[in-house]
Amino acid sequence: MRIKTGFGFGFFLWIGAGLLVSSLAFHAGLSSPATPATDGAAIFKKNCMMCHGADGKGFAALKTPNFTDPKWQSATKDKEMKEVIKNGKKGTAMVGFGNQLKDEEITAVIAYIRSLKKK
Ligand code: HEC
């Protein structure tokens, strides 16, 4: 009887640990297919939208460019965008995000800006 009780308790702990590990993995984003950290749209919403607008069209008062403008899109290279997003643009309100965003997050947000282009 004692052995049986011991086994029952151990088994209960084992299940509990399994549930804990899987819920931690879930919260770390390991089990969701689109990891939020590299979701360009989410990064834009969180860090850029207040100055660039929800639609990416910018605000005249802030002098932010219109990301949906095909002319702006073709005049701006990915490399230039990366540089500005990382280090900011001197003398403007555009601040650098190099210490907040990882390289892959910058790449994801550039892809998102590209997707805003008006067709
Ligand atoms: C505090 C306001 C502000 C925030 C926040 C901000 N920007 Fe900007 N951004 C600006 C302004 C102002 C400009 C225009 C600079 C200029 O005069 O050329 C700009 C310009 C840019 C440009 C164009 C650079 C070029 O060479 O023309 C890109 C790309 C850009 N921002 C991306 C981003 C991204 C991505 C984020 C979020 C990670 C972001 N910005 C967050 C204000 C902001």
Amino acid at 44: F
Is the CB of 102 inside a 6 Å radius of any atom of ligand 1? no
Amino acid at 80: E
Q: Is it the case that residue 83 has pLDDT exceeding 60? A: yes
pLDDT of residue 31: 47
Closest approach atom of ligand 1 to CA 72: 27
pLDDT digits (tens, 9 = 90+) for 61-75: 999 999 999 999 999
CA of 99 to the centre of ligand 1 (A): 16
Q: Are residues 51 and 84 in the same domain?
A: yes
Q: Are residues 29 and 66 in the same domain?
A: no
Q: Are residues 79 and 50 in the same domain?
A: yes
pLDDT of residue 10: 60
Q: Residue 63 belongs to a domain with what CATH number?
A: 1.10.760.10
Q: Are residues 71 and 27 in the same domain?
A: no
* pLDDT confidence band for 119 (50 / 70 / 90): confident
pLDDT digits (tens, 9 = 90+) for 13-68: 565 565 555 555 555 554 445 555 589 999 999 999 999 999 999 999 999 999 99
19 compared with 81, residue with greater pLDDT: 81
Q: Are residues 61 and 49 in the same domain?
A: yes
pLDDT of residue 13: 55
Q: Are residues 41 and 25 in the same domain?
A: no
Q: Are residues 66 and 113 in the same domain?
A: yes
Is the CB of 65 inside a 6 Å radius of any atom of ligand 1? yes
Is the CB of 109 inside a 6 Å radius of any atom of ligand 1? yes
pLDDT of residue 38: 87
Q: Are residues 40 and 21 in the same domain?
A: no
What is the dihedral angle through the alpha carbons of 51, 57, 84, 114, rounded to the nearest 10 degrees? 140
Q: Are residues 105 and 59 in the same domain?
A: yes
Q: Are residues 25 and 48 in the same domain?
A: no
Q: What DSSP character marks residue 23?
A: H
Q: How many domains does the chain have?
A: 2
Q: Which domain holds residue 25?
A: 1-33
Measured distance CA(18)–CA(57) in Å, rounded: 47
∠ Cα 65 68 72 (to 5°): 55
* pLDDT confidence band for 109 (50 / 70 / 90): very high
